[in-house]
Structure 1
Amino acid sequence: MKSSLAAGREAARAAGIELLARRTVVINGVRFVGCVLWTDYRLLGTPKPSMVFAGQELNDHRLIRYREDSGHYSRFMPWHAAAEHRLDLAFIRSELAKAHEGPTVVVTHHAPHPQSVQPRHQGSALSPAFVSDLSALIEDYQPDLWIHGHDHGSHDYRVGRTRVLANQAGYPNLHGDRENRWFDPLCVVEV
């Protein structure tokens, strides 16, 4: 995963794109703070069982390979995700604590708030693999906008003054239709 990230950064830069993997950029006065924000598995208050279930059921833990500090590659396991979550959370907190005169947008793959659990997944044992509850962080720093992905749904709500938005197409089905029928390909957000 780490070597893939380095290769991804190079390819993105060559295309004029900034890969926001624990990176912050300011574009036209708007600060973008970005990272994956892997989950902490604490959404239901049962992190250990949630990690075990996610390790068995989630494609991320079957398909992603993780380079250990020793150089050995292993399956990307829930405890790796939880450790990466702590690093991502520290990065976001550190960046949001820095003064910035313009709007701030946080961009993450994983969702930052329980309101992003889709109705069909409410109470699901897999929900903690997609969503963490960062209510306190959001309320403390109040970024203008938080954009996320990962759950293949659409969300638009507020936590305090922060707008939380997701507009994901999801997987195509056998007929070529999008998984998320509420996906808006023309969605534009102004901050």
Structure 2
Amino acid sequence: MDGQGWVELSDGHFAGGTLWTDLRLNQPAGELLYPREFGEPIGIRDAGSIIPARGSDIVRLHEAERCVLSEILDPDAAPSGPRIVVTHFAPHVDVLPIHLQSHPAAAASASDLTYLTDVGVADLWICGHVHRTVDFVPGYGTRILSNPRGEEGSNPRFDEGFVVEVDSTR
């Protein structure tokens, strides 16, 4: 699904990808969260091998994915029927715990894509990486959902039997 556009399954339309963060959230102007702040080495696949990632590499990947998502979520181009976006990293700062929403470490997990999430072109946006369960609708927009098990079962609110129904009248 990474940048392929909408994929139709059953009666729904799915799109998404990794959505690397832009490393800019809550950082001083012009600065990036350095990849080592993620707490583990990050590698990017390049021509069949894995190379160590630099902040500029991650930003480049984020920008490319953000452009694709912007095209996919264009209200004039989006298909009718339920539209679901699935990404690894979070598209909205409110996915994070309140104490991290304004913290510089937030850039390791989320980006500010409110211009896409708060207008409701997608009916549902499922994301991960945050290790906590969230379910909310920002602005006039898209329902954002995360239900991860967490590392070694660390999320006590994880619901293994969780089912979400998406109803769209578009």
TM-score by length of 1: 0.76
8 Å contact from structure 1 (residues 154, 165) kept in 2: yes
8 Å contact from structure 2 (residues 92, 110) kept in 1: yes
What does the per-residue CA deviation read over 1:10-50, in whole Å, with 9 as the maximum and x for residues that have no partner?
xxxxxxxxxx2223311112110111111112221436544
Task: Name the structure 1 match of 2:148.
Answer: 168
Task: Name the structure 1 match of 2:21.
Answer: 39
Task: Name the structure 1 match of 2:105.
Answer: 126
Q: Aligned residues: percent identity?
A: 30
Higher RCO (CA 8 Å, separation ≥ 6 residues): 2
Task: Name the structure 2 match of 1:8.
Answer: none
8 Å contact from structure 2 (residues 78, 121) kept in 1: no
Deviation at 1:154, TM superposition (A): 0.8
Deviation at 1:161, TM superposition (A): 3.1
Which has the larger share of helix?
1
TM-score by length of 2: 0.84
What does the per-residue CA deviation read over 1:43-83, in whole Å, with 9 as the maximum and x for residues that have no partner?
2143654423xx222145x1424427xx8752022211111
Give distance in 2, aligned partners of 1:84 and 1:121.
24
Structure 2: stretches of 5+ with no match in the other structure? none
8 Å contact from structure 1 (residues 40, 47) kept in 2: no
What does the per-residue CA deviation read over 1:70-128, in whole Å, with 9 as the maximum and x for residues that have no partner?
x8752022211111111111111111222311110111001011101123534332211
Deviation at 1:166, TM superposition (A): 0.3
Task: Name the structure 1 match of 2:58.
Answer: 81
Say yes or no: does 1:187 pair with 2:162: yes
What is the number of residues matched between the two proteins? 162
RMSD (Å), alpha carbons: 2.1
Superposition pairs for residues 34-183 of structure 1, below 5 Å? 34-46=16-28, 48-52=30-34, 55-59=35-39, 62-67=41-46, 73-97=50-74, 98-140=77-119, 142-159=121-138, 160-172=140-152, 178-183=153-158
Give distance in 2, aligned partners of 1:120 and 1:140.
26
Structure 1 residues 72 and 184: CA distance shift in structure 2, 3 A: closer
Structure 1: stretches of 5+ with no match in the other structure? 1-19, 173-177
8 Å contact from structure 1 (residues 51, 79) kept in 2: no
Instruction: Give the secondary-structure state (helix, strand or coil) at the position aligned to 1:26.
Output: strand
Give distance in 2, aligned partners of 1:32 and 1:148.
13
Q: Supply the AA of the counterpart residue of 2:156.
A: R
